[in-house]
Structure 1
Amino acid sequence: MPSIPPRAPYAESPSRSRGRKFAEDLSKTRSAFARDRDRIIHTSAFRRLKEKTQVFVAHEGDHFRTRLTHSLEVAQIARSIATALGLDPDLAETVALAHDLGHPPFGHAGEDELQIQMQNYGGFDHNVQTFRVVTKLERRYPRFEGLNLTWETLEGVIKHNGPVADKLEKPSWRGIAEFDAQYDLRLSTWASAEAQVAALADDIAYNNHDVDDGVQAGLFTLEELRAVPLIGPQIEGAWADYPDCDPSIIRLEAVRRMIGAMVDDVMAETRRRVEQGGVKSPEDVRTLGQALISFSRDMAEDLSALRLFLMERMYRHWKVNRTRSQARRILAEMFQLFMAEPEVLPTEWYQRLQGRDEAGRARMICDYIAGMTDRYAIEEHRKLFHLEVWN
């Protein structure tokens, strides 16, 4: 059994956390970061991820990934990498579990449509919406809005992909700028190594499960993937080792091997950057001037080639385009109806609109729609636009 590596000097520690915006007593049973993780898991937004999708719509098949299964896969990979690098696995897992909370129904199609509908009211960005969920929209505590997560978790949620100070002038980021003015998240620096691990784990998870889902959906075959960098060599290797194996098992074996190859690459490149950059503290991670947790150049090139294949054969496939078109119409029609006739909103949401200007009403309507699952959005649209459902 492999031993657990010692804690790296550049790892975050809950005992050195910068705390929470609203002070709370420490938990007797959990670290501050583990407590953040548990708060995220218990949210309504996290539960709704079970019927939010990325490429396919929830009703198209139970074997395709949802945002929930994706988040769990990201969390597992993030925790494993963080542990192997001597980082805090609870913080990496927490950021991973939170990273998709702000996604609307219907994946990127839903995000694109909400951005269009909100372009005159401050825009829409799923990362900003995630931050809005954990700091405002989840109402579970008597003393504050949101979850009152630690500084390190909030930092990871909003800048796990890198510094974001340059985005604060965007209308959709105004809420982040206002929060940062009250509670400085150092938006011009990189996030912790743990948050960066979560970001890379997201890349590893979705590229692998999109390959898996794409084959299962019949959008391309294992034979076609054999010529694609990164996944192709894994298929060749799996077939060489198990020439008589069922193709469905070969697919899973190849995906498993690709995850392993990507994780090994991240580990090696990160250790190289630690040595090259003389990284010895969490502050060194934030001021390094580049990501500490990263793929190598060769892996990044192979990953780009794989993404190009998936873009051409999966994300722009006519069946997926048809679903995207339907999804965008559903959200556009609901948004426009709610703006024109807010009284058809559920009572709780209609009451929240009272006293707000047009932009404020649009933001609340956007919050309502963004929180929907795929199935709920489809059903709401049917009730609003098709009278026969009342017969």
Structure 2
Amino acid sequence: MIDYTKKITTDREVNPIDNLDYSIESDRGRIFSAPAFRRLQKRTQVFALELNASIRTRLTHSLEVAQVARFIAKTILAKLKKQGLDTYGLEELENAFVSTAEMTSLLHDIGNPPFGHFAEQTINKWMRDNALPILDAFPSTRPEVQTIKNIIAKDICNYDGNAQAIRVISKLQRLNLSYTQTLAVLKYTRGAYEAKPPKEDSFSYLKKKPGFYYSEASFVEKVQQTLGVEAGHRFPLTYIMEAADDISYLTADLEDAVEKGILSLDQVYDLIKKACESEGEHYLLEIIEDRYRQAKEKEEPYQFNMFFTLIKAKLVTSLVYHVVDIYIKNHQAIFEGSFNCALLDYDTQSKYYKAVKILETLSAKHIYQNREVQTLELQGYTIVNGLLDIYKPLLELSAKDFTKLLQDEKIECFIAMRLIRRISSKQIVAYQADIKTLNPEDSETYNLMERYYRIRLVTDYVSGMTDDFALNEYQTLMAL
């Protein structure tokens, strides 16, 4: 039975708000005022350290995704009204349904590090090369300690922006969002410490990436149990956010590439046209030919703006109605969170799926493999890797020395005494809160978990930087 009153609730960690509308507005206010949300304006979408304000950042991308999510959510409600919203427990939840989908979209990139997805790979490589040897040195004389050691060793090498988003929301920013809003952000349902399932697994897609860390596993479990979402399952509105994200990407990168002069309007048109003809794809071909003609009729310097605007207007509307149909046709599985597919990827024979794949392929080939873009990624690698090297002394201290450090006591490592002062107090508070949950009498487990939380602390600091702050911090500390 589909009953959204079981999923969209006022439950939250502390100080719950009884009135649902007030609870939803409280979530909205907390998100907009969060420093982590504002920092998205200085985070890479594709082009790092870009001075041209018209080029997309994580913030402007998130705003576009939120708008598409509103469109999808409203369209779903409009179609369900024909059957009666009371059938699904939605008669008094329309505002909450739309707002949750919208705010989830604003939050979906909040855990992404500076310099984009390339930095995720950089962090994970650094952890394998530098943090794992530190953990390996810890004794584990009991089987249960060795089990924990194996778990956190895998966990620290699987940094992912999706998992970091849950950590940012729950611990680093302590937004105290409703459980509904929090769980809607959980895009993937596998812990970073868990193995990736095989393709034939019924949750292979839902678990293809890490969705949360070991440090937040108990919190995620609590939220899921409160909202009646089984382990490994998704929150239903997360599918809307994912579809909105996929739709927003379609022409965005191509548009930014033209703005930067990497491609011209004519080149984009020719590339799409040739790809459509090669694939025998007529739907997208008809759209771009019609919109290209309309754009070229206008003798102005920003013909490409009109071209992309006209394409987006057609594509977004068509794709929204397409994913809404899929949502409703698979409503029970989506409500349960067992629907093991992205909405846009469900019907691989549809003209919409084929159009999406053509645009994705063109972006991958002509933008992501562009020399300038890859140069920026390599620079990001050098900066993130260099910063982690600089802060490594904090990870090499004993638990006793690190405690002294936080208490402003003098220790032998004079470098660490200076590094700790650069880390945000919010991140240190999150570390200290985690340490309080440990039992110091079990020294083996305590020392192992303390080092795990300290690794998280350094990772939180570096991954929470904006592109320009990371560059400046690197140049400052490297004396460049």
CA 166–304 in structure 1, closer or farther in 2 if over 3 Å, else same: farther
- Residue from 218, 223, 226 that aligns with 1:183: 223
Aligned pair count reads 364
**Superposition map of 1:172-321 within 5 A:** 173-184=213-224, 185-192=229-236, 194-226=237-269, 227-228=271-272, 229=276, 233-246=286-299, 249-273=302-326, 276-277=329-330, 279=331, 285-287=335-337, 289-291=339-341, 293-294=343-344, 296-297=347-348, 298-321=351-374
d(CA) in 2 for partners of 1:131 and 1:285?
21
| Other-structure match for 1:62 | 53
Whether the 8 Å contact between 1:14 and 1:32 is mirrored in structure 2 is no
Counterpart contact for 2:291–2:311, Cα < 8 Å: no
Hey, what's the Cα distance between the residues in 2 that align with 1:303 and 1:292? Answer: 13
Written as runs of structure 1 = structure 2, the 5 A alignment for 1:1-391 is 12=4, 16-17=8-9, 19-26=11-18, 30-86=21-77, 88-119=97-128, 120=132, 122-123=156-157, 124-138=159-173, 146-159=174-187, 164-165=189-190, 169=194, 173-184=213-224, 185-192=229-236, 194-226=237-269, 227-228=271-272, 229=276, 233-246=286-299, 249-273=302-326, 276-277=329-330, 279=331, 285-287=335-337, 289-291=339-341, 293-294=343-344, 296-297=347-348, 298-340=351-393, 341-347=415-421, 349=423, 352=428, 357-386=450-479
Call closer, same or farther: CA 1:345–1:175 in 2, change over 3 Å: same
Task: Please say if residues 235 and 337 of structure 2, whose CA atoms lie closer than 8 Å, have aligned partners that are also in contact.
Answer: no
CA distance in 2, matches of 1:57, 1:80: 30
* Equivalent-residue separation in structure 1 for 2:25 and 2:370 (angstroms): 41
Partner of 1:6: none
Normalising by structure 1, report the TM-score. Answer: 0.82
Normalised by the length of structure 2, the TM-score is 0.68
Equivalent residues of 2:246, 2:344 under 8 A apart: no
Paired amino acid for 2:160:
D
Residue range with higher mean Cα deviation, 263-272 or 121-130: 263-272
Q: Which has the larger radius of gyration?
A: 2
Counting aligned pairs with the same residue, the percent is 25
More moved, 254-263 vs 167-176:
167-176
Does 220-229 or 146-155 show the bigger shift? 220-229
The amino acid that maps onto 2:112 is H
1:102-128 Cα distance to aligned partner (Å, 9 max, x none): 011111222221122233351211101
Q: CA offset at residue 252 of structure 1?
A: 2.2
Q: Secondary structure at the match of 1:21?
A: coil
> Alignment RMSD, CA only?
3.1
Question: SS state of the match for residue 57, structure 1?
Answer: coil
Q: Aligned in 2, Cα 1:114/1:231: closer, same or farther, shift over 3 Å? A: farther
Q: In the TM superposition, what is the alpha-carbon distance from 1:55 to its structure 2 partner?
A: 1.2
Give structure 2 stretches of 5+ with no counterpart.
78-93, 133-152, 196-209, 277-282, 394-414, 436-446
Partner of 1:343, secondary structure, is helix
Whether the aligned pair in 2 keeps the contact of 1:53 and 1:107 (CA below 8 Å) is yes
Contact 2:251–2:308 under 8 Å retained in 1: yes
In the superposition, relative to structure 1, how do residues 158 and 288 fare at CA in structure 2: closer, same or farther (>3 Å)? Answer: closer
Give a deviation string over 1:247-290, Cα, whole Å, max 9, x none.
6543223322333333333343345435644x3x7x76225634
* Alpha carbons of structure 1 residues 173 and 179: separation in structure 2 relative to 1, 3 Å: same
| Deviation for aligned residue 1:132 | 0.2
Does the C-alpha gap of structure 1 residues 11 and 200 become closer, same or farther in structure 2, counting only changes over 3 Å?
farther
Q: Which amino acid aligns with 1:42?
A: S
> Which amino acid letter does the alignment assign opposite residue 286 of structure 1?
E
Change in Cα spacing, 1:71 to 1:358, as seen in structure 2 (3 Å) is same
Q: Which amino acid aligns with 1:128?
A: A
Q: Is the deviation greater in 343-352 or in 81-90?
A: 343-352
Gaps of 5+ in 1: 1-8, 139-145
Specify whether residues 182 and 15 from structure 1 end up closer, same or farther in structure 2 by C-alpha distance, changes over 3 A only. closer
Contact 1:14 / 1:31 at 8 angstroms: preserved in 2?
no
